[in-house]
């Protein structure tokens, strides 16, 4: 591995701090803390540069708050002065990390992102029969400081830069275990957390020779034409993560299934020929749009910001070219729409009767028929006579066509008997 040097002086230089201030303040100029720092930048930046050069820089306390996105997360917001330092550090540290990452790593990189990760996942789904989807349990909270600093010491050889990175990494976050965890919300945390799993990416691609692989932070997916190979990969991956990085897989989120069933990934379900947005994400975006419309009606939001918000919320659908629109389509009168619980054929009869005179029969809208799904087949085994490298991993899968009650029932069935339950659907042709 190539190590990098002669970076610290460039990081602590006044021009780099000025550029970092502009990036950190972009879009946040209305905040009081930002306005105060920018007003005193002629004094604050030279003082900050001097503290960095002489090793006197100390990060300030975090401001914490919780969000629901869609699951609860604790955000640790750094002081604006520290965010300037983070931008200054990442301006030189990020390119060095970027040179180590594989092509199919899509987090925190220019020209990548979650939308392109979904597109790449669909390419692999079209080329392989089965997929493996894994997630790491409490990833940001589980990152070991000693292991991370050891990886950084092999990438950077300047002692002053390593000391600065150690101050940033070990800065105490309220509520986290000592020696563990990175704060969610910091720019440095994103790059360091992405780099933490880099050796796992190289192991999967270069040693295990997995051609179909995509990672977005701690969400990893692999594809193969062999189901047994994916089971073996899941067991070996869990063992390697525990031994070398002190993190573990979220067993209930470990999925092995046919690609035709659709893989849950980054808020979407990825099929070989279809991308389906998760309903909870779509409802959340519609709620946010309704809130912004209410603020606009009350005069709290101008038209420019409302349009920018609408473009942002509708961005995934516009980029991927599929998905439901933010504003639901309402075609026809209330009497011509399907009522809750009404069969499709009954709706067809109502529309045929309510069709206005003069409209030809062949021009009436035809509703699609709902295709019933095939019932899943369950195979339960306790670990013996299996080809799993790590039989203790329960592989759960929520089928794309089953109801939430059926999904919960399958998970309850998986916990009975102390073994592993694999819910599988075989692809059959209709007679």
pLDDT tens per residue across span 261-305: 999 999 899 999 889 888 888 888 888 899 999 999 988 888 888
pTM given for the model: 0.73
- pLDDT by residue (tens digit) across 377-405? 333 333 334 343 444 344 544 433 333 44
Q: Please count the other Cβ atoms lying within 10 Å of the Cβ belonging to residue 157.
A: 13
Most confident by average pLDDT, 65-79, 176-190, 312-326? 176-190
**Among 395, 414, 316, 425, CA closest to 133:** 395
The percent of residues above 90 in pLDDT, for the chain, comes to 46
The pLDDT of 185-189, averaged and rounded, is: 91
What is the per-residue pLDDT for 1?
Answer: 62
Q: Is 125 helix (H, G, I), strand (E, B) or coil?
A: helix
**Among 48, 55, 43, 54, CA closest to 85:** 48
Say yes or no to pLDDT of 223 above 50: yes
Contact 17, 9 (CB under 8 A): no
């Amino acid at each position: 591995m190539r190590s990098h040097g002669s970076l610290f002086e460039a990081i602590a230089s006044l021009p780099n701090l000025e550029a970092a201030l502009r990036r950190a303040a972009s879009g946040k100029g209305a905040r009081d803390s930002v306005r105060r720092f920018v007003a005193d930048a002629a004094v604050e930046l030279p003082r900050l540069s001097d503290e960095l050069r002489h090793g006197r820089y100390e990060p300030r306390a975090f401001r914490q708050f919780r969000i629901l996105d869609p699951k609860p997360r604790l955000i640790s917001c750094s002081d604006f002065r520290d965010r300037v330092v983070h931008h200054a550090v990442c301006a030189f540290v990020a390119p060095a990390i970027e040179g180590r990452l594989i092509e199919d790593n899509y987090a925190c990189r220019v020209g990548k992102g979650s939308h392109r990760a979904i597109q790449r996942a669909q390419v692999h789904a079209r080329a392989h029969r089965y997929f493996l989807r894994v997630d790491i349990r409490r990833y940001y909270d589980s990152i070991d400081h000693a292991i991370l600093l050891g990886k950084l010491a092999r990438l950077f050889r300047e002692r002053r830069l390593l000391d600065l990175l150690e101050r940033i990494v070990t800065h105490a976050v309220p509520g986290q275990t000592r020696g563990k965890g990175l704060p969610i919300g910091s720019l440095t945390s994103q790059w360091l957390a992405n780099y933490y799993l880099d050796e796992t990416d190289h192991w999967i691609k270069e040693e295990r020779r997995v051609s179909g692989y995509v990672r977005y932070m701690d969400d990893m997916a692999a594809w193969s034409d062999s189901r047994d190979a994916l089971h073996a990969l899941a067991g070996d991956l869990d063992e390697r993560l525990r031994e070398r990085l002190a993190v573990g897989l979220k067993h209930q989120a470990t999925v092995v299934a046919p690609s035709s069933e659709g893989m849950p990934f980054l808020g979407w379900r990825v099929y070989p020929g279809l991308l389906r947005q998760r309903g909870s994400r779509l409802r959340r975006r519609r709620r946010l749009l309704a809130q912004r419309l209410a603020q606009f009606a009350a005069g709290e939001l101008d038209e420019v910001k409302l349009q920018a918000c609408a473009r942002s919320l509708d961005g995934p659908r516009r980029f991927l070219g599929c998905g439901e629109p933010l504003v639901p389509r309402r075609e026809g009168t209330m009497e011509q729409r399907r009522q809750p619980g009404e069969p499709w054929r009954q709706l067809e009869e109502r529309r045929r009767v309510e069709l206005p005179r003069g409209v030809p029969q062949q021009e009436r809208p035809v509703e699609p028929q709902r295709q019933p799904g095939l019932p899943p087949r369950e195979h339960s085994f306790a670990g013996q006579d299996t080809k799993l490298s790590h039989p203790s991993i329960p592989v759960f899968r929520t089928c794309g066509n089953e109801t939430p009650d059926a999904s919960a029932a399958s998970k309850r069935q998986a916990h009975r008997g102390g073994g592993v339950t694999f819910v599988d659907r075989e692809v059959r042709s209709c007679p």
